[in-house]
Amino acid sequence: MEVNQYLEMFIEESKEHLQACSEHLLELEKNPNDLTIVGEIFRSAHTLKGMSATMGYEDLADLTHKMENVLDAIRNEKIHVTPEILDVVFESVDHLEDMVMGIANGGDGKRDVSSTVAKLKLIESGESVIAEVAATAVAVTPVASALEYDGFEQTVITQSFEQDFNAFEITVRLREDCLLKAARVYMVFEILEKDGDVIKSSPTVEKLEDEQFDQLFYVAFVTKESAEDMQKKLLKVSEVEEVIVVPITIEQFKYSEREEEVIVEVVEAKTEHAVGPSVSTPAKAPEKATPVKAGPVGNKTIRVNIERLDILMNLFEELVIDRGRLQSIATEVNHNELNETVERMSRVMGDLQTIILTMRMVPVETVFNRFPKMIRQLSRDLNKKINLEIIGAETELDRTVIDEIGDPLVHLIRNSVDHGVENPATRLAKGKPEEGTVVLRAYHSGNYVFIEIEDDGAGINRDKVLEKAISKGVVTHEQSLSMSDKQINELILASGFSTADVISDVSGRGVGLDVVKTTIESLGGNISIESTQDVGSIFSIQLPLTLSIISVMLVEIEKEIYAIPLSSIIETSIIRSSDIMNAHNQKVIDFRGKVVPLVFLEEIFEVPSKEVQDDEFRSVVIVRKGEKLAGLVVDSFIGQQEIVLKSLGNYLTNIFAISGATILGNGKVALIVDCNALIK
Amino acid sequence: MTNAIEQESIKVIVFQLADKEYAIPVSHVQGIEKLMHITRVPKTEKYVKGVINLRGVVTPIVDLRERFELPISKNEETTRIIIISLEDMEVGFVVDSANDVLDIAANSIEPQPEVVGSLGEEFISGVAKLDKRLLILLHLEKVLNPLK
Question: What's the CATH code, domain A4-142+260-289?
Answer: 1.20.120.160
Provide the greatest CA pair distance for chain B: 44
Dihedrals phi, psi of A325, to nearest 5 degrees: -65, -45
Q: Which residues of B touch A669 (CB under 8 A)?
A: 37, 39, 50-53, 58
Separation CA A212–CA A195 (nearest Å) = 26
Q: What angle do CA A300, A9, A41 make, to 5 degrees?
A: 80
Number of helices (H), then strands (E), belonging to chain B: the values are: 2, 11
Residues of chain B contacting A606 with CB distance shorter than 8 Å: 42-43
Look at residue A474 and give its three-state secondary structure: coil
* pLDDT over threshold 70, residue A7: yes
Q: Cβ contacts of residue A45 below 8 Å, gap of 6+?
A: A17, A21, A64, A67, A68, A71
- Break chain A into its structural domains and give their ranges: 4-142+260-289, 151-248, 306-357, 363-544, 549-678
What is the DSSP code (8-state) at residue A652? Answer: S
Per residue in A390-414, pLDDT (tens digit) is 998 888 888 878 888 888 888 888 8
- Which among A318, A607, A657 has the least Cβ separation from residue B55? A318
Q: Which among B93, B116, B115, B100 has a CA at the least distance from the CA of B30? A: B93
| pLDDT, tens digit, 9 for 90 and up, residues A231-253 | 887 777 777 778 888 877 766 66
Residues of B in contact with A663 (CB under 8 A): 53, 56, 58
3-state DSSP assignment of residue A434: coil
Q: How many helices (H) and strands (E) does chain A have?
A: 25, 22
d(CA B124, CA B121): 5
Fold held by A151-248 = Alpha-Beta Plaits (3.30.70)
Search chain B and give the residue with CA nearest A663.
B53
Is residue B2 domain-resident? no
Percent of chain A with pLDDT over 70: 83
Domain count, chain B: 1
- State the fold for domain A363-544: Heat Shock Protein 90 (3.30.565)
- CA A536 to chain centroid, in Å, comes to 28
Contact A655 B43 (CB under 8 A): yes
**Is A630 an interface residue toward B (CB < 8 Å)?**
no
The Cα–Cα gap between A27 and A294 comes to: 15
Cβ of residue A609 closer than 8 Å to a chain B Cβ: no
d(CA A493, CA A515): 8
Q: With beta carbons under 8 A apart, name residues in chain A contacting B60.
A: 648-649, 651-652
- A333 membership: H or E segment, kind and range: helix A306-333
User: Is A17 an active-site residue?
Assistant: no
Omega before residue A203 within 30° of 0, cis = yes
Dump pLDDT digits (tens) for A456-475. 888 888 888 888 788 877 77
**Tell me, what's the pLDDT at A562?**
94
Query: By the 8 A CB rule, do B122 and B136 touch?
Result: no
Confidence of residue A332 (pLDDT cuts 50, 70, 90): confident
The answer to whether the bond into A544 is cis (omega within 30° of 0) is no
| pLDDT tier, A622 (very low <50, low <70, confident <90, very high otherwise) | very high
- In this prediction, residue A33 carries a pLDDT of 78
Q: Which helix (H) or strand (E) covers residue A567, if one does? A: none
Contact B143, B122 (CB under 8 A): no
- B55 neighbourhood in chain A, CB within 8 Å: 318
Q: Which of A53-62, A106-115, A533-542, B55-64 is least confident?
A: A106-115
Q: Does A556 touch chain B (CB under 8 A)?
A: no
> Do the domains A549-678 and A363-544 match in fold?
no
What is the SS3 assignment for A247? strand
Q: Is residue B1 part of a domain?
A: no
Residue B92 lies in a domain: yes
Q: What is the mean pLDDT of residues A626-652?
A: 83
Q: Is B95 within 8 Å of B76 (Cβ atoms)?
A: no
Contact pairs from chain A to chain B, CB under 8 Å: 78
Does A667 or B49 have the greater pLDDT score?
Answer: B49
Cβ of A650 within 8 Å of Cβ of B89? The answer is yes
Q: Give dist(CA A605, CA A674) in Å, integer.
A: 12
Query: What CA dihedral angle connects A252, A257, A258 and A259, to 10 degrees?
Result: 90
A265 included as an active-site residue: no
Does residue B38 register a pLDDT over 50?
Answer: yes
Residues A570 and A668: their CA atoms lie apart, in Å, by 27
* pLDDT higher at A561 or A246: A561
Prediction pTM value: 0.51
Domain containing B63 equals 9-144
Cross-chain residue pair B52–A604, CB shorter than 8 Å: no
Distances (CA, A) of A19 to A12, A15, A16, A386, A670: 11, 6, 5, 21, 43
Which of B40, B55, B147 has its CB closest to that of A651? Answer: B147
Do A258 and A137 contact (CB within 8 A), yes or no? yes
What's the CATH code of the domain at B112? 2.40.50.180
pLDDT at A115: 77
User: Could you tell me which of B56, B11, B142, B64 has the C-alpha nearest to residue A662?
Assistant: B56
A415 is catalytic: yes
Q: ipTM of the predicted structure?
A: 0.84
Would B130 be classed as within a structural domain? yes
pLDDT of B148 strictly over 70:
no
pLDDT of residue A256: 46
CATH class of A549-678: mainly beta
